[in-house]
Amino acid sequence: MSEVIALDESSWSTADWALGAHPSAQGITFAVYAPAATRVQLEIFPDEIGSFASDTFLLAKGEDGVWRGNLQGLQLNALYGFRVWGSNWPFVEDWEPGSEAGFIADLDADGNRFNPNKVLFDPYAREITHNLYTDKLAKLGVNDGVFGTGGDDVNGVPRREIDTAIYAPKGVVIADYTPVTPKPNIPGERTAIYEVSVEQATAHPSTMRLGELLGDEPGFGAVGNIPDEYRGTYKGAGMLAPYLKALGLTTIELLPVHETNASESGRDSKTNAWGYMTLDFFAPNRLYAHDQSWGGPTREFKEMVSAFHDIGLEVYLDVVYNHTAEGGNWGGDVNTTGFTTLGGFATADYYQMTDAKILVDGATGTGNQLNYSQRAACLLVLDSLRYWTDVMQVDGFRFDLATVLGRLPGDADPDDWGQQKRFFSDHPLLVAISEFADENGIEVIAEAWDLWGYEVGNFPKGWGEWNGRYRDAVRRFTKGDGNAPGFIDMFNGDYHHFHTSGGAQKTINFVDAHDGFNMADLVSYQTKNNNQPYPFGPSDGGSDDNLSWDSGGSQSLRRQRVRNLWAILFLSRGVPMVVAGDEFGRTQNGNNNPWELHSLAMCNNYAMIPTNAPSGCRSRPGWRPPTTTTSASSRPPTTSTGSSASRPSWRT
């Protein structure tokens, strides 16, 4: 291995290298944004877990608040992380990893949480080595509590002193040149969307017989079997493209594929089947990749996109820019957080806080929400969108709780909740995203509500929006509520709300979505049924107001009502969106919020299609993935050590 050396250090403070790690002919440049930091140390690691840094380099700060460096002799797929000091923890000569030397406080006057004992991964890393809930850490006898700051006693030492070098996720230096088939550029008015997670699409063992199961179905001759090793992966999802084409759909919309927190085996409270807790806005989720090598998820994702583009289909991504997986204040203690990336570099530039510097999560309910009064946070979103559009070649994005991106926390007193909840249709970030979409020929779709407000129809021109009004009107009408005028308005494209937004092609019409009843259950259950035994439960949360009707228990009426819903959806003006499995009556047995249920019961069982007894279809004998019962995002990590035991992966 060649020696790694700093290249032309005198130029670092005036350089303009882009954020992240970027290989070039002159070396690999590194850049991270930390304007209030007083020292940033780049560390190179030989292994993802269990090893300390092999090389360290001090970066130089530019006038733009970015710390930069350029290394020569470092190879592609190198692993790297950072340590950061600030006014609350200035550097002193006798500091060493795991010491309290130099410590003054856990946060500075602006709420930044600098702690050099906590190795951070690059927010712009194109891949990271692992997530915080990985079973690899559990096997070492530790849990994610090691990443916390604050003075809690952990095995006789304050938590802030635990050095995380051997545990922390590391960035991976990526330079991938996998070609992607050009985009089909389908006009918005011709789009029909299929919403599904990578895992749900092909993890079920029935996919190994998919071609055989559909062999007698007209138009499905191009559909083939999916090999066992590709189930639940990007590779497997790409092989499903002919199936979606045969259904007459144009677009697959994948639930979040950004790196997230999840146990490989699905340990209790350490899983998230939907992926709505983003760790890194540039890195594809490694758990969905068959190719686990460094760079493998990136290559495999691009190959999946090509598989869809090859037959004229588009790929949209569900993206979560309203909050991150870094969580909030543990136990309500202002000193204790679990930052491993953004918050460790620049809390005040990325996160919304109260006047007392407690992290705000009122609109998201997930521990934190991002602060889009800050330029750095806005650039993070735009840079992420640009990467997935230009490099990964996706065709569009659906924004989870997009209203958070339209708020300006800096324009009001941090504790004035009435003013903090204001939504700005002309927010610079929303306008910039719309302009970016227009310039690049992609679609951007808002989930136009959160816990602070409902803003359907209020996004800037160019945005599409999930139309919750359409969903509710159709559900009411088809169960006999007598709301004909409202139903007709929605059926005709919701002119009142969308005529200034670009027309009916900007209303995304849906009857159901991933977070709620699926279509079969909408016509079969009066109320949600979440507290049921595995594999269809238990799960927490979920709306109590589903506008559902069990069709009086009539199976024939239920089947007819599902056909009616499909007809209404595809005859309405606007863009139709369906949920995976609705095409053949997939049921969740009334569970309307299985967000963390790591179960085959939540995956598409294609054996239901060529049979007159679909409810009799079962998974292969002896297969049982792990159960989950507690929401990982609803409680802080414990201070005890984790169990080293693991259970079979869903891919078993």
**Cα-Cα end-to-end distance for the chain:** 37
CA–centroid distance for 325 within its chain? 9
Query: Distance (Å, rounded) from C-alpha 37 to C-alpha 29?
Result: 19
The answer to whether the beta carbons of residues 400 and 276 sit under 8 Å apart is yes
Handedness of CA 598, 601, 604, 607 (dihedral sign): positive
The answer to whether the beta carbons of residues 490 and 470 sit under 8 Å apart is yes
Q: Which of 555, 456, 553, 544 is closest to 506 using CA atoms?
A: 456
Largest CA-CA distance found in the chain, in angstroms, rounded = 78
- Stated as kind and residue range, the H or E segment containing 282 is strand 278-284
Query: What is the three-state SS of 235-277?
Result: HHHHHCHHHHHHHCCCEEEECCCEEECCCCCCCCCCCCCCCCC
Neighbouring C-beta atoms of residue 198, cutoff 10 Å: 27
Residue 548 tokens read as 């559902």
With a CB cutoff of 8 Å and minimum separation 6, the contacts of 391 are none
Query: Distance (Å, rounded) from C-alpha 584 to C-alpha 271?
Result: 27
Query: Distance (Å, rounded) from C-alpha 559 to C-alpha 572?
Result: 20
Residues 179-196 as b or e (16 or more Cβ within 10 Å = b): ebbebbebebeebbbbbb
- Cα dihedral 320/276/592/210 (nearest 10): 100
Name 443's bridge partners: 396
Q: Which residues are catalytic?
A: 400, 447
Query: Distance (Å, rounded) from C-alpha 313 to C-alpha 185?
Result: 9
